[in-house]
Amino acid sequence: MAGLKRRFVDWLDERLGGGSIEEFLRHKKVPIHRHTIWYYFGGMALFLFVIQVLTGILLLMYYRPTASGAFESVQFIMTQVKFGWLIRSIHSWSANLMILIVFIHMFSVYFLKAYRKPRELTWVSGMLLFFIVLAFGFSGYLLPWNTLAFFATKVGTDMAGFVPFIGKWILVFLRGGNEVTGATLTRFFGFHVAVLPGLATLLLALHLLLVQRLGMSVPPGVEKKIKEGQEPERSMPFFPNFLLRDIMGWYGALGVLGALAAIFPWELGTKANPFGSAPAGIHPEWYFLFMYQTLKYLPAKIFFINSELLGLMGFGIAGAIWVLVPFLDYKTGFGKVTRFFTGLGIFALGYIIVMSVLALVG
Amino acid sequence: MMSDTGSGKSAAGGEGKPDLGRRWVNLLLGTGIISTIAAFIYPAIRYVIPPPVSESTNLSVVAAKVAELKTNSAKVFRFGSEPAILIRAADGQYRAFTAVCTHLGCTVQYRPDLHEIWCPCHNGTYDLQGRNISGPPPRPLAQFQVHIQGEDIVVVRNA
């Protein structure tokens, strides 16, 4: 058996370049220090993404992307198809967990300054993946065609209309017309199952390739201590040590997902009625709450400027700064940790948490 | 001159004169490729913009029956491609407005407890004249005329 394995590895190596697989497995190291725990979140996000792809493919077997059939097809999945409730609930729960994990991954990378030279592109590709994940959430939310999703999509796409010059064009492009209709549903379905997965796969490949080439970042504080000899430089091999720990985490995540899906099956709500009033207590998914709450606080006009435009510009500028942080905070790359950017991160995190909590209680 | 095929730069720049033949080839190739790309992209962009749907030319619609609405209540009905709201105020008078909130396009509802029109999406309110009185809505709701014709309540859009 061992001989067969050896021969197979040799056969592959001959075709992929000398010793590449073994080289790869032997050389990838994961640093050990007091922040090592944060290294697990990227792999966890990847694992949940795989769960999304697999459960998504299963949902595709029964789902119908039309205004007259979408709600009924999800209802059919939930009530008639064997384990349909489980597959759909896991898809919804895993989506939400994935977004949470992605948030944690992003902020941990931010606070540990892992974006600093030479990992700027890893950060940028990660941020693009973050936006894609949000787009996945927004487009997938509409697919069951229920009341909450209908109005969330109406508001979300209406906001896109405030983009200067091309807003109207974006709105019509997203909605497939001037209103949110079955055409919007069909479009969102296309984005959700074809366009976004394609983009995500490409970016994910780039992101992982960069992580592979550059290795794991050691936080500046730890790096300094190692340099000054106050702390030994320790690491563990990625394979099998780190991967096995990863898998333990994934196993745990599977358990959590199964439990959540079984105890709190994802609700379907009521079918969307384009000619009915928006129900009281309507709000978007939790990861958009901070933006939603901000909009609530803005008056109709600020200095004669439409406040939606202002809000949109504010979030646009904040997002752009966030994406470009490795280039703005270039000094960290030379070992100088700038307090300003740490403060900015704390402010961003605080803002998101406070506004989300206000939206939930108010 | 044409022997150095691998590098147009050295052929052109080496002697200080432009190699007209190579520049022409590059120009033609470049224009051809850009035109080809444009010829693919233009139809694709036009394709994703949906064709205009003929707007409902209905200037009036039967919104409800007289017996249907009690005082201090309302009904959301379809008017063309958009929802509209018919309100029977506490004084018994009928009023009709577009139900599309001027803020971000949610569908508004009547609040019998407050005698106001309310948008639950971002907590905007309008009075019974359709004027935006609190919250984020930037403009009043467009008002329609209401006529009673026998048993029918007919809502008419100003042409």
Assign B56 a pLDDT band (cuts: 50, 70, 90): low
| pLDDT tens for each residue of A15-37 | 887 666 677 777 888 999 999 99
- Contacts for B75 with CB less than 8 Å, ≥ 6 apart: B63, B64, B68, B69, B85, B86
Instruction: Compute the average pLDDT of residues A59-78.
Output: 95
Tell me if chain A has a CB within 8 Å of the CB of B16. no
From the list A154, A282, A298, the residue facing B105 with the nearest CB is A154
Assign B9 a pLDDT band (cuts: 50, 70, 90): very low
**3-class state of residue A146 by DSSP:** strand
The reply to whether residue B136 touches residue A295, judged by beta carbons under 8 angstroms, is yes
**What six digits make up the tokens of B79?**
């008017």
The reply to whether residue B107 touches residue A178, judged by beta carbons under 8 angstroms, is no
CA distance A179 to chain B (A): 8
**A174 in Cβ contact with A163 (< 8 Å):** no
**Residue B15 pLDDT:** 58
Residues of chain A contacting B, Cβ within 8 Å: 151, 154-155, 158-159, 169, 172-173, 176-179, 183, 274-282, 292, 295-296, 298-301, 306-308
* B157/A167 Cα distance (integer angstroms): 28
Tell me if chain A has a CB within 8 Å of the CB of B51. no
Edge-to-edge strands, sheet with B109-111: B109-111, B116-119, B124-126, B132-134
Burial of A129 (0-12, 13-18, 19+ CB in 10 A): buried
Tell me if chain A has a CB within 8 Å of the CB of B107. yes
- Contacts for A114 with CB less than 8 Å, ≥ 6 apart: A122, A123, A217, A219
Q: Is the per-residue pLDDT at A323 higher than 70?
A: yes
* B108/B136 Cα distance (integer angstroms): 13
CA atoms within 13 A on the CB side of A65: 19
**3-class state of residue A217 by DSSP:** coil
**What six digits make up the tokens of A130?**
């973050």
**A78 in Cβ contact with A84 (< 8 Å):** yes
| pLDDT tens for each residue of A224-258 | 999 999 999 999 998 889 999 999 999 999 999 99
**3-class state of residue A163 by DSSP:** coil
Tell me if chain A has a CB within 8 Å of the CB of B137. yes
| pLDDT tens for each residue of A83-102 | 999 999 999 999 999 999 99
Identity at A78, one-letter amino acid code? M
Q: Is the per-residue pLDDT at B34 higher than 60?
A: yes
E-only strand ranges, B89-131: 94-98, 109-111, 116-119, 124-126
- Contacts for A293 with CB less than 8 Å, ≥ 6 apart: A355, A356, A358, A359, A362
User: By C-alpha distance, which of A309, A225, A245 is closest to A41?
Assistant: A245
**A335 in Cβ contact with A117 (< 8 Å):** no
Tell me if chain A has a CB within 8 Å of the CB of B134. no
Q: Which domains does chain A have, with CATH numbers?
A: 1-29 (no CATH), 33-271 (1.20.810.10)
User: By C-alpha distance, which of B76, B88, B144 is closest to A273?
Assistant: B76
The reply to whether residue A274 touches residue B137, judged by beta carbons under 8 angstroms, is no
* A159/B122 Cα distance (integer angstroms): 13
**Residue B5 pLDDT:** 46
Contacts of B109 in chain A (CB under 8 A): 277-278, 280
* A115/A106 Cα distance (integer angstroms): 10
The reply to whether residue B136 touches residue A300, judged by beta carbons under 8 angstroms, is yes
CA distance B158 to chain A (A): 21
> pTM of the predicted model, to two decimals?
0.87
In order of A77, A118, A192, A341, the CA distances from A344 in angstroms are 45, 21, 32, 5
Contacts of B123 in chain A (CB under 8 A): 296
**Residue A94 pLDDT:** 97
How many Cβ pairs within 8 Å bridge chains A and B?
A: 79
Average pLDDT of chain B to the nearest whole number = 85
The reply to whether residue B121 touches residue A155, judged by beta carbons under 8 angstroms, is yes
**Residue B6 pLDDT:** 45
CA distance A183 to chain B (A): 9
Q: Identify the residue whose tokens are 């079955």.
A: A182
Question: CA B5: distance to chain centroid?
Answer: 56
* B67/B71 Cα distance (integer angstroms): 11
The reply to whether residue B104 touches residue A278, judged by beta carbons under 8 angstroms, is no
CA atoms within 13 A on the CB side of A40: 16
Classify the complex by whether its ipTM is higher than 0.90, answering yes or no. no
